[in-house]
Chains A and B, each alone.
Chain A
Amino acid sequence: MACFLVPAAEAVVITVIKKSVKKKEISKINLKSDDGVPDIKTETGLSWSRKLNWLTNLLWGGVFLLAIEHIWHGEVVLRPPFLTAMNNPENIAPMLHEIATVGVSMAIFVTAIWSVMVLVSDYLYKTTAAFKHAMGEE
């Protein structure tokens, strides 16, 4: 009914955090170019703004396509109150239940997958860097 609202709320929060992190990284890192974007590499690996960018892309992308699906099924309309469940008081409780169960699960699941992705990419980055370093020494 409106399960995508929870990932949408998370996407808003993460986007704000990402912009804040990006500003901090720009101030810390010496930019090699003048394009205003922090370099991909930091001393510890991939930058956090890039990692958070993956999460915001996952969340906003998912929310957008789920909104299309909800419009398709007539659960969301492009006029107030936007959610068709809001027109009937009997449907409000099931809608809130779905938001609390399916919506929260979606947000947690996407964030969990992103966490695994961050761990794997950090591991690959470190091993590749170590590999390149070893090759350079040889």
Chain B
Amino acid sequence: MYLLITFFAAIIATIVWYVQMPKDPYKVSTLSFMYWGASLMWLVDGFFCIAEGEPFLEMSFKDALLGFTAVICGLIAWMTILLVKGDKINFFYK
């Protein structure tokens, strides 16, 4: 379930990045790559689960909660990167 949630977050972040191209004042590309990286890695993990006879996706509330936690942690990491890299003015005032 967390794979699906992160995958949709990656698609949304990519669309936002694409709309802002070629400028990327809020570094949405970083957020997009973060979600894509996690989605690809969990996809590989899912294939190994199938090989071991386990389900590819677990549709449970706990897994959904993990997915949303991962998305929120990604957002926090992205905001931290924006602040640390000196884009405070863009982030708060633009």
| Cross-chain contact A69 with B37 (CB below 8 angstroms) | no
Q: Within the assembled complex, what's the spacing in Å between the Cα atoms of A110 and B48? A: 15
Q: Which of B40, B69, B70, B73 touches A58 (beta carbons < 8 Å)?
A: B40
Report if A16 contacts B (CB, 8 A).
Answer: no
Our pick among B29, B37, B47 for the contact of A65 (Cβ within 8 Å) is B37
Between-chain CB contacts (< 8 Å), 15 pairs:
A7-B37, A54-B33, A58-B36, A58-B40, A61-B30, A61-B33, A61-B37, A62-B38, A64-B34, A66-B41, A66-B42, A69-B2, A69-B66, A72-B69, A110-B37
Name B's A-contacting residues (CB within 8 A): 2, 6, 29-30, 33-38, 40-45, 47-48, 66, 69-70, 73-74, 77
Residues of A within 8 A of B (CB): 3-4, 7, 54, 57-66, 68-69, 72, 101-102, 105-106, 109-110, 113
